[in-house]
Structure 1
Amino acid sequence: MTVPQKPIRAAGCVLWRRAASEDGLEIALVHRPKYDDWSHPKGKLKRGEDPLAGAVREVAEETGMECRPGAPLPTSCYLVDGRPKQVRYWAAEAVAGAFTPNSEVDRMVWLPPTDARLRLTQERDRPLVDALLAALHLA
């Protein structure tokens, strides 16, 4: 009998800002050289860390941005090397800060929602763009 493994707990945000584009907003995506992928800022929670606090911390670490968290978005569940991973997400408006490349994230882009959806590497990250628009009553 195999014992179910405890899921890897992680959290992140779909980071957005107001923009002059036709959608009225842009979404931040980060590029991680270790995986050569584009994703929403997210990361593993520290032991005992509140998921929302961890999401805000990860946004600051990966993007250099301070954010104002808003509505919860769908949780993403998938396997990593056979182990379940659960990532809780929130909508978060960028309010201050500036991106500085680091070893974990070497690039960050701000894109309109349509372009962000196309740039995301993982299919599972794309519905979060729609969830953000719905949460902001733009869908």
Structure 2
Amino acid sequence: MSTARNPDDASDPTPVQAAGCVLWRRSPTDGGLQVCLVHRPKYGDWSHPKGKLKRDEDPLAGALREVEEETGHRAAPGAPLPTVGYEVNGRPKQVRYWAAEAVSGVFTPNDEVDRLLWLPPPAARDRLTQPRDRTLVDALLQVLHLT
């Protein structure tokens, strides 16, 4: 008898564990702060790069892995940001976030993420699909001491 949990089993009360980053950089043209958003065609939404953790994966390592997979960028992690909790298909999900500066890389569209935008914080906040993701832009500005 297997004791492995199915991450998509709605009857399992254990939260799905995920991690991501609010990825940022300085604009190459004017030096202003830009926040990276990804478009996921499966959901038709704009969000911060994030994803489910692999079994026994360190959350920060998973967040950086997801950033690189979804954006093509390597990132230097910074301060932890608030953990966001919500339900997906009747099952709780917890996403741990970190501020992370993009240090290198190039985006290549793929099946999971077909578009990427670098936007100033107010425009990023407006573009994000989920209100819960907007608070993370504010948290980023606080940890970067820009508020």
TM class by shorter-chain length?
over 0.9
Which of 6, 22, 33 is equivalent to 2:14? 6
In 2: Cα distance, 1:117 partner to 1:21 partner: 20
Q: Match for residue 72 of structure 1? A: 80
Task: Give the RMSD, CA atoms, in angstroms.
Answer: 1.3
Asked if the contact 2:12–2:91 (Cα under 8 Å) also holds between the matched residues in 1, the reply is no
* Deviates further, 80-89 or 12-21: 12-21
Q: Match for residue 103 of structure 2? A: 95
Which of 22, 29, 33 is equivalent to 1:25? 33
Alignment of 1:108-127 (within 5 A): 108-127=116-135
Amino acid at match of 1:117: R
* Deviates further, 92-101 or 11-20: 11-20
Tell me if 1:51 matches 2:59. yes
Q: Percent same amino acid at aligned positions?
A: 72
Asked if the contact 2:48–2:133 (Cα under 8 Å) also holds between the matched residues in 1, the reply is yes
Deviation at 1:63, TM superposition (A): 0.1
- Residue by residue over 1:89-113, the C-alpha shift from the partner in whole angstroms, topping out at 9 and shown as x without a partner, is 0000000000000000000000000
Which of 97, 114, 118 is equivalent to 1:106? 114
Aligned length: 136
Amino acid at match of 2:44: D
Q: Mind listing any 5+ residue stretches in structure 2 that lack a counterpart? A: 1-10
Deviation at 1:36, TM superposition (A): 0.3
Residues 62 and 4 (structure 1 numbering): CA distance in 2 closer, same or farther, change over 3 Å? closer
In 2: Cα distance, 1:79 partner to 1:120 partner: 18
In 2: Cα distance, 1:35 partner to 1:123 partner: 15
Amino acid at match of 2:120: P
TM-score normalised to structure 1 length: 0.95
Instruction: Give the 3-state SS of the residue equivalent to 1:125 in structure 2.
Output: helix
Deviation at 1:4, TM superposition (A): 6.4
Which of 47, 71, 78 is equivalent to 1:39? 47
Amino acid at match of 1:41: P
